[in-house]
Amino acid sequence: YIVFNFFSRLSWEPKSSHTTAREPRDWRVRAGWRAAMAEPFEFPEFFDYPPYFTVQPNPDTQRKQTELWKSLILGWCHHHRSFSLRLDDDAHPLWRNDAIDRRLPPDARRLFVDALVLDGAAAWLDGDPGPKSKCLVFWRSQDAWCDELCLWAAQSGLEGQIVTLHEVAGGANTGGPPALEGAPFEFLANVAARLEQRDKGAFVPERGEDDAGIKFF
């Protein structure tokens, strides 16, 4: 009961200083957005409380705890433009707080990422078979990423053409959309699958010497 009351006192939302700016839809002004993302990330209030680093047995308390960790993971990845996470990296700043001498156990990491997967905000890259240790993180919805790609393709005159994943993720070096610069190919393949569902494009798998890519409709 004491722990439940403790969890209830803290807001489910990150502090205002933790909230990250929404990326401009016009990718041509992304340079200003990138500068804003250079600001230090400030962890939310709950990160300084030891009970949050232990999975709570009470279902209601655990549900609130899970929502807080989901928000933190998405916020941190958004701020740092991180498209994937390793759960087996004990030195990762998301999984430890040296100021209070606490580390989030691996099982708890998987529990919270599993919740993101159920929300469609993450996807496992391993774990079948074997332990789950690496995931993609969709800190914007997959539909939002699809819209970003479609806008870029339209502005670049790429409808009906195939663009390699390397070109999409290459940023200024390849003329790709800056918002997806550095995105791993697995991330782009997931977005391409969503494009197919929306009849906006299709994933083109690697064949021989031809790289995998996306065909825009």
- With 60 as the cut, is the pLDDT of residue 17 above it? no
Q: Return all residues near 9 (Cβ < 8 A) that are at least 6 apart.
A: none
Amino acid at 105: P
- pTM attached to this predicted model: 0.80
| Predicted local distance difference test score (pLDDT) of residue 4 | 39
- With 50 as the cut, is the pLDDT of residue 63 above it? yes
| Predicted local distance difference test score (pLDDT) of residue 19 | 33
pLDDT band for 1, please (50, 70, 90 cuts): very low
Among 20-24, 54-58, 70-74, 91-95, the minimum mean pLDDT is found in 20-24
pLDDT digits (tens, 9 = 90+) for 166-206: 999 998 888 899 999 999 999 999 999 999 999 999 998 88
pLDDT digits (tens, 9 = 90+) for 91-147: 999 999 999 999 999 999 999 999 999 999 999 998 777 789 999 999 999 999 999
Residue with more model confidence, 12 or 104: 104
Q: Which residue's structure tokens are 């700043």?
A: 93
DSSP 152-186: HHHHHT-TT-EEEHHHHHTGGGTT--GGGTT--HH
DSSP 92-123: -TTTEETTTTEE--HHHHHHHHHHHHHHTSEE
- With 70 as the cut, is the pLDDT of residue 42 above it? yes
- With 80 as the cut, is the pLDDT of residue 6 above it? no
pLDDT digits (tens, 9 = 90+) for 64-87: 999 999 999 999 999 999 999 999
Could you give the 3-state DSSP secondary structure of residue 37?
Answer: helix
CA 182 from chain centre, in angstroms, equals: 13
Strand partners, 207: 210
Q: What gap in Å lies between CA 87 and CA 135, rounded to an integer?
A: 8
Q: Categorise residue 40: left if φ over 0, alpha if ψ from -120 to 50, beta otherwise.
A: beta
